[in-house]
Structure formats: C-alpha cells, structure tokens
Amino acid sequence: MPDTDDRGGSLAATPAQTIGPFFGHALPVPDGGRIAPEGHPDAVTVHGLVRDGAGVPVPDALLEFWQAGPDGSLAGAPGSLRRDPREQAPAPPERLTPRPPLGALLGRDGAVFTGFGRVPTDAGGRYAVRTLRPAAAGRSNAAPHLAVCVHARGLLHHLFTRVYFPEHTAAHATDPLLAQLPEERARTLLARPDGPGRYRFDVQLQQSADGAFEETVFLAFR
Amino acid sequence: MTAPASPAPPPPAPAPYRGAVERHPRRPLLPFDTGTDPDAVELTGPVFGPADVGEWDADLTRQHPGEPLGERITVTGRILDRAGRPVRGQLVEIWQANAAGRYTHRQDRHPAPLDPNFTGVGRCRTDDRGRYAFTTVRPGAYPLPDESSWRPAHIHFSFFGTAFTQRLVTQMYFPGDPLLPYDQILAAVRDPADRHRLVAAFDHALSLPAGPLAYRWDVVLDGPSATWTEEGR
C-alpha cells in the first residue's frame, strides 16, 4: 500500500489531476440533471452559467450535485448513473465513430429521488438540474443546501461549493458556513428566485478583473 | 570495446501545467471545519448499486462485437480512505485513448485511427475489500494540440468515496514510460512523492501467461477525518 505521511500516521492521499478536455464521452449521462422523480409536483429547476475570470462562459465543465431530500434524509438511492443492460445502442450517424459500448447509458429511471445529479455545461456554459428542495439534514443549525463539485478542463483540482435557497433567511443567520462570510461573499452561495419553481445559480470560477463578477466561494473541507 | 555510454543527463524539468489560468480561483479556498456541522451533507455521498454498472463495463475489450487493437492489460488495486479503511461499494469510472492515442470524442482531432471496437469507457464498483479491476488495452501516447510535447500513456480515473468530500478525479500513468519526466500535466503535481503515487506498478505475478499484462494501482481518498464508515464512531 502507499506509504504514510506525517499527518498522524494516516495514508497520503492520491493527488488530483485535471479532468481534461475529453471526458464528454465518458462521464455525462442522459437525464443526469433530473434528480427529482419525473413529474413530481414540488420539483424545482436550478440553472445557471459557469464563467471564468474573463467573463467567458465555460463550455466544458462538469457539475455534480449531492443533497438531502425534502425530509432531510441523506440516504439517497442507487440508480443515478443507470446503464441499459439489454443491448447495444444504435450506431451514431458519424460513419467512423465507434458505437457506444454494450449496455449504453440509460439515465435514471425517473421514479426515485437519488439525491445525486451530474450535468455538463453546454456550448454556452449553461447547466440545469431539476430537483426537490432539500431540508436541513440532521439536527444541526445548518441551513438546507445542495453540495456542488465543479470539474473543468484546465482546473488542476475540482472545486467544492454550495447552493443555498433564498427562502431560508432565518436558517442562514445560524448556518456555520454562511455565518463566517461577509455579505458580498455569502451572496455568491445564494440562488436567486427566477420565476415560479426556478432558481438561478451562477458559478464564477475567478473574480473578474473589472469586479463585475464576484468569485464564488469555494470550500476546503477538513 | 568502447566504454559504456555515460548516463543520459536528466531531462530539463517541464514547466508545470497551470491549466487555464483564468479558471483558477484568485481567493484562497474557504476552510470549512465539518466539526462545526457534523450533519454536513458533504460527509455522506451518493450510493451506487448494481443498476449503475453494466455487465461489460469493467472489460473494455468486450464492449463491441469485434476485438479492439492493442496490448491487453488489467488494472487493479484497492481504494482506501486516509485511515486505511477500504472504500466499499463505490463507483470507479475510467476513460482513455485507444491503443493509437485517439479518444472516441468528436473534438479529438489527433490524426490517429479510431478503433471501431474500442470506446475507452469503463466503470465498476469496489468490492468488500475496496478492490476495483478493469480489463482494457494500453492507451497510446499522443501530442498535445497546442504544445510542443507528447502526453505519456495514461488512464483517467474518477472515484467516489463514502463522503462527497472524498471525490477524486485523476490520471494513472504507466511505470517506465519515457515520456513521464517531460509531461507538464504530471509535473503540475509538484511533490515527487505525490507524482510517484500516480504511477502504477507492473505486477508480473498477476500477469497470466498469454493473458493481459497486469498493473496494480492503489488509491487513497482524502476527506475530513470525521468521515465515518461502519467501522468508525
């Protein structure tokens, strides 16, 4: 096994490397942003833009979401990256492109709330997930939120952040993460109302030079 | 008899890959002590079951009707957390170029042949000892489109742990690859010991006669020490 380091005899962690430009044929799944069961009356859409420090949309990012359910449960459910076990997918139109492998990705079955979503940004740097509003997990004083992991070509290490919902003003005052941030920084973690059942949450990877876009707060957990 | 050639001088260290600089946060990451929020969502993680993995997913040489080109290899190892506990039942995903160094990706324009019998995508779940295993072909090296260097052979890996904070995306390299000292992306990991952790070991004992050549690569996922498993707290 790997050797130990000087952190209390614990094992040394394997370092991260950039996700690179060519993950698109491997990691995204059909309906990967459909966390809520199909047709659920309480489903909400969280959508937004991923931008770099020059204000340019990032077309090759991959966002992953993990969250508590509407009942505060963190159990989740398997099946968020479901494959079709039956047969080979039809050949794509491009003559020389190899077929998708046997048991092509089917996407989630639409019936269960898995708690997990995975979506790539589109050519315009946009993403969207459809989910259920989380409740606070456990009995802590933390406010309900979505956990987000941001991957992108050119990022040496993925970035963690959170999406809080604007309705929970009282809970935000006692949230152990939000409470330690000045208001303009905390605001980067708040989704904005954007019509019925819709929220806007943009990810700003780097503070823009002109100050127009405040950099999203990214987290180092310990 | 001529004198043995003197050892080659060490290669000049490549400039470490910095990625797309305008994508890197300027501000330091905000340290968040999960001890202040023991119910933090990030201390758990998504669950994956048999429905998330297909029958052929772990053997990339059997996903198509024909045989892919290239040298058959197996890559196997254990996934542990920093306390040495096995990471069980979690999803491991890989993607890679084919034996000629070409990805099945529309934007890969490297003029090496595509292989109709190789897509280069695999996944499996770790077993009760935290083990994973893939059968595939050794990927080819390829040049970076906008740099004057070639990338060594590598396989991209994605790991989920028992906590969302253990999420890891990285790359595995092959021992003895002459391109390793020149790779800017590997050089982005600054500590030589850390770089060494990304290079698999050839395992002759595991390599079956006339079977695939075996490589062993063990992985340690990070994450807060508060992360629990059924063996902890």
Q: pLDDT digit string (tens) for A160-172?
A: 999 999 999 999 9
3-state secondary structure of B35: helix
Closest CB to A77: pick one of B47, B54, B167. B47
Residues of chain B with pLDDT under 70: 1-12, 147, 224-233
Structure tokens at A160: 């963690």
Beta carbons of A97 and B104 less than 8 angstroms apart = yes
Percent over 70 (pLDDT), chain A: 84
- pLDDT of B233: 25
Q: What is the mean pLDDT of chain A?
A: 87
B151 neighbourhood in chain A, CB within 8 Å: none
β-pairing, B213-216 vs B72-81, is parallel
Q: Min CA distance, B10 vs chain A (Å)?
A: 24
Average pLDDT of span A105-116: 79
- pLDDT of B61: 94
* Residue B79 parent element (H or E): strand B72-81
- What is d(CA A61, CA A119) in angstroms, rounded to the nearest whole number? 9
Q: Which residue of A has its CA nearest to B19?
A: A154
B58, B16, B30: which is closest to B195 by C-alpha?
B16
Whether the pTM exceeds 0.95: the reply is no
- What is d(CA A47, CA A61) in angstroms, rounded to the nearest whole number? 14
Interface contact B119, partner A, CB < 8 A: yes
State yes or no: pLDDT of A194 exceeds 70. yes
CA angle A165, A112, A60 (to 5 degrees): 60
- pLDDT of A122: 96
Closest CB to B46: pick one of A12, A25, A114. A114
Query: Residue A90 contacts by C-beta under 8 Å, 6 or more apart in sequence?
Result: none
State yes or no: pLDDT of A188 exceeds 90. yes
- pLDDT of A217: 97
- pLDDT of B5: 58
Burial label for B64, CB within 10 Å (0-12, 13-18, 19+), is buried
B217 vs A141: which has the higher pLDDT: B217
* Residue A175 parent element (H or E): none
Q: Which residue of B has its CA nearest to A102?
A: B63
- What is d(CA A205, CA B20) in angstroms, rounded to the nearest whole number? 11
Beta carbons of A48 and A127 less than 8 angstroms apart = yes
| Per-residue pLDDT band at A222 (split at 50, 70, 90) | confident
- What is d(CA B121, CA B233) in angstroms, rounded to the nearest whole number? 37
State yes or no: pLDDT of A145 exceeds 90. yes
Per residue in A49-76, is it b (16+ CB within 10 Å) or e — as a string?
Answer: bbbbbeeebbebbbbbbbbbbbeebbeb
pLDDT tens-digit map of A23-70? 998 999 888 999 999 899 999 999 999 999 999 999 999 999 999 999
Beta carbons of B182 and B14 less than 8 angstroms apart = yes
Marked catalytic residue, from B72, B78, B103, B125: B103
Q: How many CB atoms lie under 10 A from the CB of residue B180?
A: 19
Residue type, A71: D
Q: Min CA distance, A215 vs chain B (Å)?
A: 7
A130, A138, A151: which is closest to A68 by C-alpha?
A138
- Which of A10, A14, A29, A189 to mutate to test binding with chain B, by most B CBs within 10 Å of its CB? A14
User: H helices within chain A, ranges in order?
Assistant: 169-174, 183-186
Query: Residue B135 contacts by C-beta under 8 Å, 6 or more apart in sequence?
Result: B58, B59, B60, B61, B62, B72, B73, B74, B212
pLDDT tens-digit map of B51-81? 888 878 999 999 888 899 999 999 999 999 9
Residue that has been written with the tokens 């929220």 in this structure: A199
Is B110 one of the catalytic residues?
no
B47, A16: Cβ pair inside 8 Å?
A: no
Complex ipTM value? 0.89
Beta carbons of A36 and A110 less than 8 angstroms apart = no
- pLDDT of A89: 45
B155, B144, B176, B137: which is closest to B219 by C-alpha?
B155
Beta carbons of A132 and A42 less than 8 angstroms apart = yes
- What is d(CA B61, CA B63) in angstroms, rounded to the nearest whole number? 6
Average pLDDT of span A139-149: 91
B195 neighbourhood in chain A, CB within 8 Å: 15
β-pairing, B72-81 vs B131-137, is antiparallel
A158, B197: Cβ pair inside 8 Å?
A: no
State yes or no: pLDDT of A189 exceeds 60. yes
